[in-house]
């Protein structure tokens, strides 16, 4: 798994890598969102999360690798035959930008009745 620094380099260049120019922030945000969407249903609207889902303690992350580790430790990540992540249908990820923060927080919600 890439280090957090390698992720930031990749995200800033939208997959281009070290030495490539930094992309506009909207492009970087969309690119980072594609990573989190590999884990479950990504939303910015809490109304999209079923009433049977609950937020998880210590389940809020700014770093993708931290969220993968968290979900891996609970056996909640799904991989295909090639080792690629597949969105878990019981996981919802709420993307938020708390007041005063300059970055987004991705919060894990799990549908307990699915």
Host H or E run for residue 31: helix 25-36
- Reported as a pLDDT band with limits 50, 70 and 90, residue 87 is very high
- Reported as a pLDDT band with limits 50, 70 and 90, residue 60 is very high
- Mapped onto helix, strand or coil, the DSSP state of residue 75 is coil
Structure tokens at 102: 């300059």
Predicted confidence (pLDDT) at residue 1 exceeds the cutoff of 80: no
Stretch 59-84: mean pLDDT: 95
The residues facing 95 across adjacent strands are 106
Predicted confidence (pLDDT) at residue 32 exceeds the cutoff of 70: yes
Host H or E run for residue 43: strand 41-43
Q: Report pLDDT for 26.
A: 77
Contacts of 38 (CB under 8 A, 6+ apart): 84, 85, 86, 87
């Amino acid at each position: 798994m890439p280090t957090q620094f390698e992720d930031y380099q990749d995200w800033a260049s939208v997959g281009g890598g070290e030495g490539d120019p930094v992309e506009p922030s909207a492009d970087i945000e969309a690119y980072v969102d594609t990573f989190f969407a590999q884990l479950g249903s990504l939303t910015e609207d809490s109304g999209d999360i079923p009433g049977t889902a609950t937020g998880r303690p210590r389940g809020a992350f700014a770093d993708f690798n931290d969220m993968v580790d968290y979900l891996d430790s609970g056996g909640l990540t799904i991989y295909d035959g090639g080792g690629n992540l597949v969105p878990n249908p019981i996981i919802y990820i709420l993307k938020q930008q708390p007041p005063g923060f300059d970055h987004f927080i991705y919060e894990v919600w799990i549908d307990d009745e699915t």
